[in-house]
Structure 1
Amino acid sequence: MIRVQMGGFFDQSDVQSFAADYRAELSLVAHPGQLTLVDIRDMKIQAQDVVAAFGSVMAAPDIRSRKLAFLCGSTLARLQAQRLTDREGVAFFDDAAAAEAWLLA
């Protein structure tokens, strides 16, 4: 399982840096189809172009997780994260233990 913690505001260059760092982390994972827990409780509401850029990154075939759980701190953050993807294998949580249990189920 890969754990990602994100907070603050992002711009396009931050998204690209995130993508490079995430790919580097994936190179350490022994198998494809990883599980990813993304904690966005400290994330601010992002500009639409940044949300779209994150959506493209997370959908890329070399990055795509088998299961992706978002740990959200607010309803607005949850709604914005839900716009990233509408595929199966993605869920949104308020509780870290519930997110981990879902990923590992």
Structure 2
Amino acid sequence: MIDERGVEQLLEDAEAPDTDYRGRLAAVTGEASSDGVTVTVDLYGKPVGLRFDRAALTSRASDLSALVLRLAAAATVLALDAGESVVDGIADDFALPAWRS
């Protein structure tokens, strides 16, 4: 398929801001790893991935569950930071969220 836009239109389109914030926010994740465990969460802190190395599976269940919870919390902060960077351009008029203070 041949693109019929002219050079000026192509340049204008290339410089246009990406305003698909909903799609970009939906794709945001955060990931944290330690001691053979990796937890991935979405922007809301909901787990979307959990990976264990063989070595991690030799840990006691209580230690492993505590590690998963710590990693999920760390991954959530990373996801929120990533989400904040998506909306930085439109959120300049708002105060910092309470979790950032």
TM-score (norm 2): 0.23
Higher helix share: 2
Q: Which has the larger radius of gyration?
A: 2
TM-score (norm 1): 0.22
Higher strand share: 1
